[in-house]
Chains A and B, each alone.
Chain A
Amino acid sequence: MNESSLFFEVDYYQINKSGMSVAGDVFLSTRSDDGSIVTVLADGLGSGIKANVLATLTAKMASVFVLNSMDIRKSAEIIIDTLPVCSERKIGYSTFTVARIEPDGNAYIIEYDNPGFVFLSNNGAEKISYERIDIKSSPVKKNFINYYSLHLERGNRLVFFSDGVTQSGMGCASTPLGWGSANTGEYIEKLVRSDPGIGAGKLSRSIVAQALAHDIYKAHDDITCEVICCREPRKLLLATGPSMHSDKDREMSERIRDFKGCRIICGGTTSQIVSRELDVEVEVDISKISRDIPPKSVMKGIDLVTEGILTLCRIAELLESGKFRNSDESNAATEAIALMMNNDIIYFLVGTRINEAHQDPSMPREIEIRRNIIKKIIYNLENKYLKKTELQFI
């Protein structure tokens, strides 16, 4: 893996409009075969299911068109013409922002009626010039699309948000017309200045939390924020499972010790092997217990030590559903996910010895073979969370 190349960390956070079970804002991110990243943030007309359908259609179409390098004007026209028409308002409408970022840092952004995105370099927020493209498809209103083309470098950030952010607090004495784009931009700049290493996850969560506070903790609209950080890739090593051959125990332990980055060990036996080989104590921490996931352990020099299969299965499940974002769940699995989200390249060092005790038919069927779970985790990390991964069996 070329480690000097640029890495783009993508994450988002979202809160539904108060009382709505689904969001009318939809965020999608995909990586194309050539390594480009395409993200879409769409906000459907209205709220709830209807808006969700509009936004999902828009996001999906936009990402497919952009992935296939279709002409922007044409794509936008097709999207606008295809959307189902709202029974009350007689228009089919969804705003969207599509970003395509190529591996060398060239970025192309199309913005249709969403609040303007914020571009941050090391010197703070910067204005980006754009081209205003007229698309004549709508019978109802004049339509313009903003088209940006820029080059991203290490340390740059792009922050996209729906109008739920800029219009938060509307009608309140302090913000009669809502938070506004300018104030939102200033707030983002301040956040980044006070924490220059802030990742996409934390930044998007902080912005959404602030917008929600303006709405006095009852969102008046869906609040969504997406952040893309271009940065030196952060690395994480996840070691799990004892090696098939015990003469590799030493090698595995040393590779964990010598790894430069964040380290996780998943597996009771694995942690005991590392503890024995490196002569570091490992101790189970039973101060915090969860019904579903065994407690974590503490080992000096290792960021997180957990049980193996159950925790990995839960990690796979949470990554698949994405539910770790808006949940109060707190256990070894969610801690591991938090570390994964905060890192960019994730190395898996997987021992393949089978634990015979797990093959007992009285065990729950969720207990799977380690290799299979790791495969699922890797699939989701790569495709849903746009992480880079590397897998090695030992």
Chain B
Amino acid sequence: MKKTRITICTGTACYVLGGANLLELEDFLSDEMKSRIEITGSACLGMCKAASNDSKPPYVKIDDEVIHSATIQKIIAYLSER
């Protein structure tokens, strides 16, 4: 099975607005979840430039889907639905 790719933006805006915590994501995942995902970091994804009230950093991409205002809980919730 192809693994789900989680890309965490480590650009400045994302990092200061909570992205720093997201890098510890793996520590919060169950073994089952860990086995089906792959975590990578990324330089600025460029999405902060188009941020609005409805879409704020930090950004995380899960495969091609963008999650804004990302938190570890939000990512886990998303992953459990898949």
A contact residues vs B (CB 8 Å cutoff): 268-269, 271-272, 282-286, 289, 291-292, 294-295, 297, 307-310, 355-358, 360, 362-364, 367
Q: Is the CB of B12 within 8 A of A310?
A: yes
Q: Is the CB of A284 within 8 A of B10?
A: yes
| Cβ contacts under 8 Å, B33 to chain A | none
Chain A residue at minimum C-beta to C-beta distance from B25? A286
Q: Is the CB of A363 within 8 A of B10?
A: no
| Cβ contacts under 8 Å, B13 to chain A | 355, 357-358, 360, 363
B45 to chain A, nearest CB (A): 9
Q: How far is the CA of A360 from the CA of B49 in the complex (A)?
A: 10
Q: How far is the CA of A284 from the CA of B72 in the complex (A)?
A: 19
Q: Is the CB of A272 within 8 A of B12?
A: no
| Cβ contacts under 8 Å, B11 to chain A | 268-269, 294, 307
Chain B residue at minimum C-beta to C-beta distance from A270? B43
Q: How far is the CA of A309 from the CA of B24 in the complex (A)?
A: 22
Please encode chain B, from 33 to 67, with 1 for each CB lying within 8 Å of some chain A CB and 0 for all others.
00000011111101011010000010000000000
| Cβ contacts under 8 Å, A271 to chain B | 43
Q: Does B76 contact A (CB under 8 A)?
A: no
Q: How far is the CA of A282 from the CA of B24 in the complex (A)?
A: 21
| Cβ contacts under 8 Å, B16 to chain A | 310, 363-364, 367
Q: Is the CB of A309 within 8 A of B43?
A: no
Q: Is the CB of A286 within 8 A of B17?
A: no
Q: How far is the CA of A274 from the CA of B82 in the complex (A)?
A: 36
Q: Is the CB of B41 within 8 A of A295?
A: yes
| Cβ contacts under 8 Å, B39 to chain A | 286
Q: Is the CB of A284 within 8 A of B42?
A: yes
A57 to chain B, nearest CB (A): 42
Please encode chain B, from 18 to 29, with 1 for each CB lying within 8 Å of some chain A CB and 0 for all others.
011001100000
B14 to chain A, nearest CB (A): 9
Q: Does B8 contact A (CB under 8 A)?
A: yes
Q: List 11 A-B contacts (CB under 8 A).
A: A268-B11, A268-B12, A271-B43, A272-B44, A283-B40, A289-B24, A292-B20, A294-B11, A310-B15, A355-B13, A363-B13
Given contacts A297-B43, A360-B51, could you give 15 more A-B pairs where the C-beta distance is less than 8 Å?
A268-B11, A269-B44, A284-B40, A284-B42, A286-B10, A289-B23, A307-B10, A307-B12, A309-B12, A355-B13, A357-B12, A357-B49, A358-B12, A362-B17, A363-B17
| Cβ contacts under 8 Å, B40 to chain A | 283-284, 286
Q: How far is the CA of A272 from the CA of B23 in the complex (A)?
A: 20
Q: Is the CB of B44 within 8 A of A268?
A: yes
A36 to chain B, nearest CB (A): 40
Could you say which of A282, A356, A367 contacts B43, with CB atoms under 8 Å apart? A282
Could you say which of A295, A297, A308 contacts B12, with CB atoms under 8 Å apart? A308
Give the one of A282, A286, A292, A355 with max B CB within 10 A.
A286
Q: Is the CB of B43 within 8 A of A272?
A: yes
A311 to chain B, nearest CB (A): 9
Q: How far is the CA of A367 from the CA of B13 in the complex (A)?
A: 10
7 nearest A-B residue pairs (beta carbon): A284-B41, A268-B43, A357-B48, A268-B44, A286-B41, A294-B10, A357-B13
Q: Is the CB of B48 within 8 A of A286?
A: no
Q: How far is the CA of A286 from the CA of B39 in the complex (A)?
A: 9
Q: Is the CB of B49 within 8 A of A294?
A: no
| Cβ contacts under 8 Å, A284 to chain B | 10, 40-43
A266 to chain B, nearest CB (A): 11
Q: Is the CB of A294 within 8 A of B24?
A: no
| Cβ contacts under 8 Å, A269 to chain B | 11, 43-44, 46
Chain B residue at minimum C-beta to C-beta distance from A313? B12
Chain A residue at minimum C-beta to C-beta distance from B24? A289
| Cβ contacts under 8 Å, B43 to chain A | 268-269, 271-272, 282, 284, 297, 307
Could you say which of B10, B12, B57 contacts A355, with CB atoms under 8 Å apart? B12
